[in-house]
Amino acid sequence: MDEIDVEPVDSVDAGSRTDVDADLPAGIDAPEYVLYGGKGGVGKTTMAAATGLSSAAGGVDTLVVSTDPAHSLSDTYGVDVPAKPARIREDVPLYAAEIDPDDAMEEGLFGTDGDPLGGLGDLGEMAGGAGGDHDGLGDPADGSAGGLLDGTMPGADEAAAMRQLLEYLDDPRFDRVIVDTAPTGHTLRLLELPELMDSMIGRVMKLRQQFSGMMDGLTGLFGGDGDDPDPSEDLDALRERIERLRDVLRDPDRTDFRIVMIPEEMSVVESERLRDQLGAFGIPVETIVVNRVMENLANVADVDPEWVVAPNLEDCAFCQRRWQVQQNALERASDLFRGREVKRVPLLGDAVRGDAALRVVAACLE
């Protein structure tokens, strides 16, 4: 496949960060793909950023990609992360990208033009003009295409973003790709896209059959040769690529899917649900990351003492109450995720931004 342009961007000013040094774990024990998933706000971006920095510090050409529509990778790294892969560090081979669904849509689902349907927009207008319904997917009972061909495919922005992610996963210049996934619902919809593709292809073909006579007449009227390629081939190609991604995600030798949660009851429940849903796709979850645990950082990682700010469990009634809530959640999580590797990242006193904080998180993830 064609290589993707990777352009350097300005690194963050030296005064706003510290250089990678011996305090940062050099390298990680992980396969070529590491994906962080979970509900919004649990710290997926932080874990992905720390893992990517540590991986690159080990000399591995590493790409960190965010598919979350509400990107925060730029804030975490303290540098402007573009929509296309760019090197964001001069001292280590670290690249990053924040996929912009709008930009992806401008390139089309298949990266060929600005038509999100890969050339099917005109056919959609004809379907609408011929009395097709416009409720998004039509009526499954009669197989009508409906709004499926109105120029915007349901989930087209997600499909376009997935196309870009597939390209980055395939890029031979990156030895490891770390993915900061969108919140749970978005991630699962992406995994469901092959079924959507199957449905689309079937309806496209039925619509083409219904309007074949009309299209033949128009082709002759305007001097066409009638040999235009079948537009469903592009849909087939996208579906096959997504299926290939599924195969990669199902291979524990190539992919480590890590669920990030916080030690609260609802987060445990949602993480269990995500584990089961991923399991339905055949995607194993081997690693759980519990973020913001109220415990002494010194018990988890060997880091600079300035970061060791432990909660006062002797005199602070609020801390004691929160501690008990977390312990109950952790106990339940231990039962639910028994047999999986559990990594704990303590609640830090400062915001996790820049190298210093990411070094601390990386040390906890070793």
Instruction: Give the domain CATH number at 35.
Output: 3.40.50.300
Q: Is 356 exposed, middle or buried (0-12, 13-18, 19+ CB in 10 A)?
A: middle
Look at the chain and report how many structural domains it folds into: 1
Domain that holds residue 179: 14-103+157-191+240-364
Report yes or no on 8 lying in a domain. no
- Under a CB-based contact definition with an 8 Å cutoff, are residues 265 and 332 in contact? yes
**Predicted confidence (pLDDT) per residue in 154-163, tens digit:** 455 666 666 7
Report yes or no on 68 lying in a domain. yes
Q: Using DSSP, how many helices (H) and how many strands (E) does the chain show?
A: 12, 8
d(CA 133, CA 127): 8
- Under a CB-based contact definition with an 8 Å cutoff, are residues 291 and 42 in contact? yes
Q: Map residue 211 onto helix, strand or coil.
A: coil
Question: What's the angle, vertex CA 174, arms to CA 172 and CA 179, rounded to 5?
Answer: 120
Q: What is the mean pLDDT of the chain?
A: 75
Neighbour tally for 113: CB within 10 Å: 12
Cβ partners under 8 Å of residue 324, min gap 6: none
Exposed e or buried b for every residue in 41-76, given b needs 16+ CB within 10 A?
ebbbbbbbbbbbbbbbbbebbbbbbbbbbebbbbeb
Report yes or no on 271 lying in a domain. yes
- Under a CB-based contact definition with an 8 Å cutoff, are residues 278 and 307 in contact? no
Report the pLDDT averaged over residues 249-272: 92
Report the pLDDT averaged over residues 288-301: 87
Report residue 13's pLDDT band, with 50, 70 and 90 as the boundaries: very low
Report yes or no on 330 lying in a domain. yes
What pTM was estimated for this model as a whole? 0.75
Q: Is 127 exposed, middle or buried (0-12, 13-18, 19+ CB in 10 A)?
A: buried
**Predicted confidence (pLDDT) per residue in 133-186, tens digit:** 433 434 434 444 444 444 445 455 666 666 777 788 878 889 999 999 877 766
Per-residue model confidence (pLDDT) at position 331: 93
Report residue 258's pLDDT band, with 50, 70 and 90 as the boundaries: very high
Report yes or no on 7 lying in a domain. no
Alpha carbon 41 to its chain's center = 14
Token code pair at residue 143? 């197989």
Per-residue model confidence (pLDDT) at position 329: 94
Report the pLDDT averaged over residues 12-20: 36
Report yes or no on 120 lying in a domain. no
Report yes or no on 145 lying in a domain. no
Report yes or no on 36 lying in a domain. yes
**The residue type at 36:** Y
**H helix or E strand, kind and range, residue 212:** helix 212-221
